[in-house]
A and B are shown apart, each in its own frame.
Chain A
């Protein structure tokens, strides 16, 4: 059932979502707590001001979930200021979900999975990455727009709403996507890659909202360990789901979480691995699939090699 809309007045300069009524679904915010801790708490303080508002609007939002890696929790325990923020603010406005995670994607999987178990058919799930500069003026502006993502899912009956941030051409995320992600996507899934590019230049975006049924399918099919946004976009295109892209602003990730050359290389390698797995899954019943796979693998190796060379030149 499509959630109905109702007009609401902004709260403290940030609009609250327009969906909410007895029959409509609720929005489940899932915050991914930064793996590495910033020196200043300013960005997290602004983020959790928004989370507090979401938590207060119980007609529209389910209780927010904050996912914290257990390794992060151990580090926080040694920092009184951060520990106090966690205990007084984060746990007050959200349910903390601690998990041993190998990477951020596993944190997504853990948080979205937990929210899904609490959810219902009409619900929307909203992923909110914690490691961005929400304390800056542009970051605060982005915070005031992020809620558009789940609202677009609800109001326009979209299965997946991708948030796109503006980055400079020299930004590592942009470089990884241009020379790595899209180049590999065009190798393994050329038709779908063209379709994805019609929506977004950021197929690995950390900002998105997803509808209950589609999330359920993704959770049950997600044995791919990483690059979940790419996987979701591919499935959405392959299954002709309703996808939308929405510009959320000029936000930057925090210096603590920025990509080093090594990290950029790892992300390209992981993307290739997940695309290979997905391709095999979709084609292994077809005659002659292994020969085609070998051919694509050879092309993919060249693409990956070129991407790594370019990243080495641009990020070193």
Chain B
């Protein structure tokens, strides 16, 4: 996660948009997985940019969430994350605070 846009939406005041960037230029597919999408790889596929970086912009509920990048079935931590924890499978994942 690298940017924090403090946008609020009238219909979903507790949702905020967040941009995620994953630098995995060799990967064929990358998706954003986390508590917010039940770790579902098909929920938030990331888009590859011309520089090889993968990006996604999603709305996340207010609070704290665990997440990671799934690059070709390999779970990657976000080096820009605010923290680290483990998911229910005991894998190290990143933390984001949405306020």
User: Are chains A and B native binding partners rather than an unrelated pairing?
Assistant: yes
Contact status B85-A242, CB under 8 Å:
yes
Q: Please classify the interface of chain A as helix (H, G, I), strand (E, B), loop, or mixed, using the class held by over half of its residues.
A: mixed
Contact status A5-B84, CB under 8 Å:
no
B47 CB–A CB distance under 8 Å: no
Q: Which of A156-187 contact B (CB under 8 A)?
A: 156, 158, 164
The number of residue pairs between A and B whose CB atoms lie closer than 8 Å in the complex comes to: 52
Classify chain B: how many residues form its interface, as a range: 10 to 19
- Measured CB to CB, the closest approach of chain A to B55, in angstroms, equals 22
Give bound CA distance, A244 to B95, whole Å: 8
A233 CB–B CB distance under 8 Å: no
Q: Provided the pairs A246-B82, A246-B83 are in contact, do residues A18 and B62 lie with their beta carbons within 8 angstroms?
A: yes
Q: Please classify the interface of chain B as helix (H, G, I), strand (E, B), loop, or mixed, using the class held by over half of its residues.
A: strand
Give bound CA distance, A155 to B35, whole Å: 11
Give bound CA distance, A243 to B84, whole Å: 9
B63 CB–A CB distance under 8 Å: yes
A227 CB–B CB distance under 8 Å: no
A235 CB–B CB distance under 8 Å: no
Contact status A243-B85, CB under 8 Å:
yes
A-B contacts, 24 listed (Cβ < 8 Å): A7-B13, A10-B99, A15-B99, A18-B62, A18-B63, A145-B97, A148-B82, A152-B64, A152-B83, A155-B64, A156-B66, A164-B83, A199-B84, A242-B85, A242-B86, A243-B85, A243-B86, A244-B83, A244-B84, A244-B85, A245-B83, A245-B84, A245-B85, A247-B83
4 additional contacts, CB 8 Å, given A245-B85, A247-B82?
A148-B97, A244-B84, A244-B85, A244-B95
